[in-house]
Every structure is written in C-alpha cells, then in structure tokens.
Amino acid sequence: MGLLDYYRQFEGMSEEEVNAELRERAAERKRNALAKVQTLDLSHTTWPELPHPRVVGAITYVARRGLYRYPHLGGSELRDALAERHGVPAKRLILGNGAAELLSAATRALIEPGQRLLTPWPSYPLYPLMARRAHGRPERVSGGVDELLMSTREGDVRVIALASPNDPTGELLATAELRRLLEGLPPGVAVLLDEALVDFADAQPIDSSLALLEEFPTLLVFRSFSKAWGLAGLRIGYAIGGPGSEELLAELDPDLGVSEVSQAGALEAIRSTSELIQARTRAVCERRVELTDALRNRDFEVADSQANFLWLSYPEISGAELAARLGIRGIVVAAGDALGEPGHVRITLPVVGAVGRVVDALREAVEED
Amino acid sequence: MRTDPTDNGGLFVGRRPGTAPVRFRTLPKRGSELRQRMDGSLATVLLVTMTVLCLLCWGPIPLACLWLGSEIQYITGSVTLGITAAFALLFALLFGVLVLLRRLDSMWVLVRRAAGHDQRTGALGRIFAITAAVCALAFAAWFLVIHGPGNLNNRGS
C-alpha cells in the first residue's frame, strides 16, 4: 500500500454514497416484497371478506347489553324478518345454529333406525354422516332425478337430502325437476333441500323452490347465512316448511335457542347489507361465466355451476395431483377425493383480478406433463 | 399548527444528525503505534502550516500585492495598471491559498484519523476565524497604540 493510499483508506463515504447504498437496499426490499406472491386459498365455499361494519356494530351492541341471559326462545325479530322476506308465515320458519345442525336434526327426527337416506353423489359429505348418526343407512345415488326416483322404489327410503346448488358440483336443481321429484316420490319420503348456496344462483329466482312448499308438505328447505352472507362464524341458518310442518319444525328447534349475538348479526345483515350481497352475487355470476369459458377453452371439463365455485377435471390428471400442482403455484383448492369424485377439484371463484392468475396456474399445472 | 417544540416529526429519534459513526468503504488498517505517533506529529505540522497560511492571508499577502502594484506603477507610470495588477494578484493568491488550505484541511482530517482520533470535521473554519480575530486585534493595537491614527494638529492643513 502506497503512502497516499494508506491515508485514503481513512476517507469516509460521502453522504451521497451512503444514501445511494441505503436507496439500493430500500429498492431491494421493495423488489422482494413485490415479488412475494401471496397464497390464494380457493378451497373454502364461504365468503372470505370481513363482515360489514354495521353487522359488527349490531353484534357489539348486543354483546355489551349483556350476555348473561339465555336467548329468547319465542319469536324473534330475525324470524319475523325472514318470514316477511320469503313470504311465508313465521310459524313455518325456525332458526338454528347453522343449516347443517337443522339438517342433522331433521334427519334424526325423520329417520327410524335402518331406514335409508338417499343423496345424489358427489354431494355435501355431511349427508351420509347425518344418516349414520341417526342410525339410518346412507345411500349415494349417481345421476339425477330419475335415478333418485328409481332408488325410492324399495320401501325403506325415508329421506332424500339434496343440495341446490350442489356442493361440490355447483349444479342447480331446477324447480321443474324438483317438482317432478316431489310428484314421483312415494308417500312418506321427505325431501331436505339444502339451499345454503342458492344466493349465488342466477338461473332461476332464488325463492322459486319455496313456492313448492304449499303443494308438497314433505319438502323442507334449509338456508344459511354462512355462504353469500359471509357470516359462517355466527353459526346461523333457518329451515322453512310447508303447511302442516309446524310440528316437525318444532322438533328441529334448538333446545336453548340461537345465540342472540348471532341473531343480531344476521338481522342487521338482512336490513343493511342486502344490496351489498346482491352486488356480490352478481359479481360472482360474472366471474363464474368468465372462468368457466376460459377453462373450457383450455380443455378442462367444467360442470355447469350456479354456486361460487367450479367443479372441474382435466383428462388423465387426478384431482389430488392437480390440487398438488396448483398448491406449488400458491393456489389452494379442494381435491375431489375428499368430496366423492377423485378425478375432480373444486375451485372457489377468486376475487376480481385473480381470475387470470388462476387460469395461468391451471394452464401451467396441466402443461407440466 | 404545531405548538410543541419537542414535536420534531420523528427526525431526531435515536440519534441526532451528524453523530453517526464514520462509514468507510472498507475498514481501514491502522499502522503501528509508532506510525500513529508520527501521524499525530504530522497532523500538528499540518495544523501549524494551515495557521501560518491563514495568517498570511490577513497581512503579508495583501501587503506583498500592494508592494508589487506600486512597483508596476513605478516602472510603467500607470496608476491604473498598478492597482489592477495588485488586485489581480491579490485575488489569485488569496483564492490559491484558500484552495490549498482546503486540501490541507482534508489531509489533516485523514492524518488525524490515521493517528487514531475520531476526527469527523476539519479545523479550517475555526483557524480562519481565530487568525482573523488575532490579526484584527494586532492591527488595532498597531494602529491605535504604536503608530497612532495620525497627528491631530495637522488636521485640515
């Protein structure tokens, strides 16, 4: 080291040089943050957004007023509001801790040990489970109304559990088909129609199935606040029956009622956020068409969905494999083997802006071979 | 409107400006203890040199320029040329010395660091101010005490 070099090594960096280094570090941090791609969880069918502030406000108000009381067991504002909304008498509508609990209760109330519960398959995995819990025999039926009617010819069928739109296929049971089913059923067979996802449907009016309640007393319709309303955490749903169903509905009524907090949240949701939910479901319908078309153009087999998800498969790739490949690309979907059809996956419709990412990920996933 | 003088917008959180450690490109390798002592002496020599140069700016250089201007006037017979030459030389020398001082000051900082001191700023500003004050005092003493402002009896004659 030369004489001058020895002294030059004691020169500090100028402020500009120091700042240049800091700026470069900040730019690097920013680049890293932007490069990080968040995982997109499309495996749940519930609405992923935060609740409306007015719903939170209503819940908070009730919680602060006092939680030491049991909920009021008689009529409630929510029940009256729902009855008015659907145009049915309040005495034919009951609230429950989620539609699933009401479905289980209905199955327990209807099925005698050894009797059969029919459900189209694939469908919501709860239906066979609730039949077993009621000591009944679940029977999965592949096909549509005709196959169901054929299966009811053997005498020990007591309940048919249907989801419309169906989870996981998303297919809607048209009102005309439902009528055909109800007309063709032998006496004594009840139909539990789970319409938890019906708010996302646009193929027919949302309440069209309720019109059949007047004609068919064996029909029970179940609705939920968990899906389009985004209130799954409140665990609240309701069941509606036809004339003469009051006695059965009373059996389904939860012994100690439904949480006041949940009722307050649901009531405020009906009063304040109905338009928001309509806008939300309209957006879902648009994205559903967009994504369905995009995937069918890329040789995916996509069921006609009326829900907030798509049920799809790709030739020669199993559902589990497709789900794993999507998982590597930061997209979580529900593999079909847990839902009754190993060749498929269920993909919940992404929020606006992520449709392209999902399509690209699916394209890359099937091009891996 | 801010009314709290301690509300500085978070500017001085952690450390006040100018107190950060010196950032080197690579960590300097300091010489032996003898070398550091020699650097300490060299720093003193540089400081003295800067002091002398500063003192030159406040008296000898202007005087030398005036003398040279008078010589040019004597040789050429032109007052304008003499004054112009004197001022041109004065500015050239003063700025030349100031440039040299600035370089010496930077060198002094480096030599001080090499001698083991945490030297962040130069000493030129302080030296310049001190020498200016000393020279002003010296001139005032010479003017008022030794030489005197002039013979008051000759005023107006």
* pLDDT at B104 exceeding the cut of 90: yes
CA distance A202 to A228: 13
Residues A204 and A115 in one domain: yes
Q: Is A97 left (phi over 0), alpha (psi -120 to 50) or beta?
A: beta
Give the number of beta-carbon pairs within 8 Å between A and B: 27
- Judged by CB atoms within 8 Å, which residues 11-40 of A form the interface with B? 11-13, 18
Q: Do B110 and A13 touch (CB under 8 A)?
A: no
Angstroms from A6 CA to nearest CA on chain B: 8
The whole model's pTM is what?
A: 0.68
CB contact set of A218 (below 8 Å; sequence gap of 6+): A182, A185, A188, A189, A190, A191, A242
Residue in B with minimal Cα distance to A5: B28
Q: Which of A227, A257, A272 is the last residue of a domain?
A: A272
- Among residues A223, A349, A352, the alpha carbon closest in space to that of A291 is found at A349
Is A142 inside a domain boundary? yes
Q: Which of A272, A296, A315 finishes a domain?
A: A272
Q: What is the DSSP string of A138-200?
A: EEEE-SSHHHHHHHTTSTTEEEEEEESS-TTT-----HHHHHHHHHHSPTT-EEEEE-TTGGG
Among A272, A287, A319, the domain boundary falls at A272
Average confidence (pLDDT) over A341-369: 89
Phi, psi torsion values for B69, nearest 5 degrees: -60, -40
Q: How many domains does chain A have?
A: 2
CB A255 within 8 A of CB A44: no
Q: Which helix (H) or strand (E) holds A117?
A: strand A116-120
Residue A239 lies in a domain: yes
Domain match, A203 and A107 both: yes
Q: Does residue A103 share a domain with residue A237?
A: yes
Instruction: Please state the separation of Cα A110 from the chain's center in Å.
Output: 26
Closest partner residue to A7 (CB to CB) among B22, B25, B110 is B110
Range of the domain at A257: 53-272
Same domain, A278 and A348: yes
Backbone angles phi, psi at A18, to 5 degrees: -60, -45
DSSP code, position A333: E
Predicted confidence (pLDDT) per residue in A29-69, tens digit: 999 988 888 899 999 999 989 999 999 999 999 999 888 88
Task: Return residues 224-283 of A near B (CB < 8 Å).
Answer: none
Amino acid found at A84:
E
Put simply, the answer to whether B28 touches A12 (Cβ < 8 Å) is no
What pLDDT, on the 0 to 100 scale, is given for residue B157? 42
pLDDT at A28 over 80: yes
Helix (H) or strand (E) holding B64, with range, is helix B60-76
Alpha-carbon gap: B92 to the closest alpha carbon of chain A (Å): 28
Contact A167, A45 (CB under 8 A): yes
Determine which of A154-158, A214-218, B35-39 has the lowest per-residue pLDDT on average.
Answer: A154-158
Which CATH number goes with the domain that contains A174?
3.40.640.10
